[in-house]
Amino acid sequence: MSLPAPSARAFVPFVSVANMMALIHHVGLEQMLGELADYIEADFRRWPQFDKTPRVASHSTEGVIELMPTSDGEHYAFKYVNGHPKNTAEGLQTVTAFGLFSDVATGYPMLLSEMTVLTAMRTAATSAMVARHLAPRDARVMAMIGNGAQSEFQCLAFKAICGVDTVRMFDIDPQATAKAMKNLQGHGLTLIACDSAQDACEGAQIITTCTADKQLATILTDNMVGAGQHINAIGGDCPGKTELHPDILLRSDIFVEFPPQTRVEGEIQQLPADHPVTELWQVILGDKPGRTSDRQITLFDSVGFAVEDFSALRYVRDKLEATDLFDRLDLLADPDDPRDLFGMLARATPD
């Protein structure tokens, strides 16, 4: 089943959670992570074409609800996403999301999609794509600190894209580590359960931190990080939420997506506003250096940016062609005469 052109649309393609999972299995999980990374990198290479603004956030004591919009002039996309760390105690997800991809020329939506699963995929793909540029070339061991909903995606992305073959895993909840290790069985990784974050970092060339507590936490202390390591700090960021001791930041070369957003929500909120950082798109284009020595500590202060969601939705839209992995959503009023919306309503009067 092919997708309609925006000008001929009588329905909006909608990708449900069930169809998103079916699409991932249809493509192959690791292959899709790699393809998503390529889409994201391609859009970072044309970064100046995008409208860019920090996400619009509504904060509460329980969590945050955000809108993440962007456009490249031809297409427009936004994601609705929440972050509520206490949800898991009630059997709910910490993060849920949906997104829309539309045609700038008409304003018509071209795709509405779940993005809870897709965000996990695109976050992992972004992490590994960035590590292709910043991590040590021979990196094979990763520490995975925080073994919640994102951890398996991160591990498999680093395996598929960067060649990681061993993961040292730690979570303050041993059941979370047991869950992640069970899920990752049979995926070709050597998995090691560790007793502490420091233990997990021993011998790792890459350290991924992925925790969700909404507080100024110290998941990594300065003594845990050694020369030459790459840190992938991806935990659910917001003002007042950090994972790294400030001394780690002072020893690291820091790379970010969009500084005005990262300075408010990322690890660098702990530093002066003029502390130097490098934008990733400049590294990807070769305009700025990434990893320059074997002893350099590189830090990806990841908070997630709308361009990555744009890329993910663009990828899903392309992959839906010639599949039936979507529903036809009756979202747009479509009168025969575009000036006669009332007439369409009147003719719909029940018999």
3-state helix, strand, coil in the chain (%, to 5): 40, 25, 40
| pLDDT classification of 291: cutoffs 50, 70, 90 | very high
pTM of this structure: 0.94
Find how far residue 1's CA is from the centre of its chain.
Answer: 29
Smallest Cα–Cα separation from 120: which of 301, 309, 264, 306? Answer: 309
Choosing from 43, 171, 237, 301, the catalytic residue is 237
159: β partners: none
Q: Which two tokens stand for residue 256?
A: 């970010």
pLDDT per position as a tens digit, 79-103: 999 988 889 889 998 889 999 999 9
Asked if 237 is an active-site residue, the reply is yes
Which pLDDT does position 242 carry in this prediction?
86
Chain position carrying tokens 């000036």: 339
Q: Which two tokens stand for residue 231?
A: 């840190």
Domains of the chain: 6-117+307-347 (3.30.1780.10), 126-304 (3.40.50.720)
The residue that leads in pLDDT, 212 or 299, is 299
75: β partners: 103
DSSP calls for 160-200? HHH---EEEEE-SSHHHHHHHHHHHTTSS-EEEE-SSHHHH
Which pLDDT does position 240 carry in this prediction?
77
pLDDT per position as a tens digit, 257-266: 999 999 998 9
Rounded Cα distance between 351 and 348, Å, is 9
